[in-house]
Amino acid sequence: MSEKHQALPLLEDGRSLPLRSDSLPQGGDSIYGASAPQGYGSIELAASLAAPQRRQSSMSRFIRLILSFSVTLLLVHCNIVVIKHLLRLRRQYGASPDYEAQISSNTEPGTPAHRCVEFANWTTGDGDDSDDFSRVALTSFELPLSSDLLYLISNGTLSLGTLRISDRGSVGSDSALVDISMTYHFDYELEHTTVCLLNPEQGQYGVGFFNPGKLPDKRRIRTFFDVRVELPPGSRAAPTFVQRFETKMPQFVHEVAHSQDSVLFGNISLITLNMPIIAQSLVARHATLQTLNARIEGSITTFSRLNLLTLNAPIHVDVKMLNADDGDTTELQMLTANAAIDSTVELISTSADGTGGAFMIHAVTINQPLSISTRSAPVDHVLNLTAQTNFAKASVVLHPTWEGAFHLETTPLFNTPTVEARADVPDPAGRGRMRSVEFEDVGGGVVGGRVEWVSREESRRGLVNVSTTIMPLTLHL
DSSP H stretches of helix in 167-262? 187-191
User: H-helix or E-strand containing 341?
Assistant: strand 341-349
CB contact set of 73 (below 8 Å; sequence gap of 6+): none
Amino acid at 121: N
Length of the chain, in residues: 477
Measure CA of the first residue to CA of the last residue in the chain; give whole Å: 66
Q: Which helix (H) or strand (E) holds 209?
A: strand 204-210
CA–CA dist 405, 462 (Å, integer): 6
On the CB side of 224, how many CA atoms lie within 13 Å of its CA?
12
What's the gap between Cα 87 and its chain centre?
A: 16
Domain ranges of the chain: 38-93, 105-299, 314-477
Burial class (CB in 10 A: 0-12, 13-18, 19+), 397: middle
Query: Helix or strand or coil: residue 389?
Result: coil
> What pLDDT, on a 0 to 100 scale, did the predictor assign at position 447?
84
pLDDT of the residue at 66: 58
Sign of CA dihedral 44, 45, 46, 47: positive
Give the closest residue to 97 by CA, choosing from 260, 245, 262, 311. 311
Mean pLDDT by 10 residues, the chain (477 residues): 43 42 39 37 33 50 56 56 54 41 41 72 79 86 95 80 92 93 88 90 92 70 90 89 95 88 93 95 96 95 96 96 93 95 96 92 93 93 92 91 88 75 82 84 79 68 76 77
For residue 273, the 8-state DSSP code is S
